[in-house]
């Protein structure tokens, strides 16, 4: 699953963030991906729904936080119904 990672900071506060976007049945991380997905749906006369899934934590070290995000996302996806998992990961 394509996901983006970034570290947001404000003063001494550091917040590693992992996120991904889905549109319709697709994971669409780049601007071009989103435009192509919208075009695919428009040609079928449909408007896709979308999700922004975000996992973050307050941590001074990014790499351990990102590993924890991955662990959390995997546990979350393993605990939900397959239909919802497919919608949240863009793999329907």
**Residue 28: how many other CB atoms lie within 10 Å:** 21
pLDDT tens digits for range 40-92: 999 999 998 899 999 999 999 999 999 999 999 999 999 999 999 999 998 86
- The DSSP-derived string for 12-64 is TEEEEEEEEEEETTEE--SHHHHHHHHHHHHHTT----EEEEEEE---S-HHH
Whole-structure pTM value: 0.85
Q: Burial-class residue 57 by CB neighbours within 10 Å (0-12, 13-18, 19+).
A: middle
Is residue 88 classed as helix, strand or coil in its secondary structure?
helix
């Amino acid at each position: 699953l394509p996901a983006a990672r970034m570290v947001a900071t404000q003063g001494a506060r550091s917040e590693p963030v992992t996120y991904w976007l889905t549109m319709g049945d697709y994971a669409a991380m780049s601007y071009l991906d989103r435009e192509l997905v919208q075009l695919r749906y428009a040609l079928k006369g449909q408007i896709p729904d979308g999700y922004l899934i975000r996992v973050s934590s307050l941590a001074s070290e990014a790499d351990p936080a990102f590993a924890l995000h991955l662990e959390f996302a995997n546990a979350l996806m393993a605990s939900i119904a397959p239909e919802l998992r497919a919608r949240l990961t863009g793999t329907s």
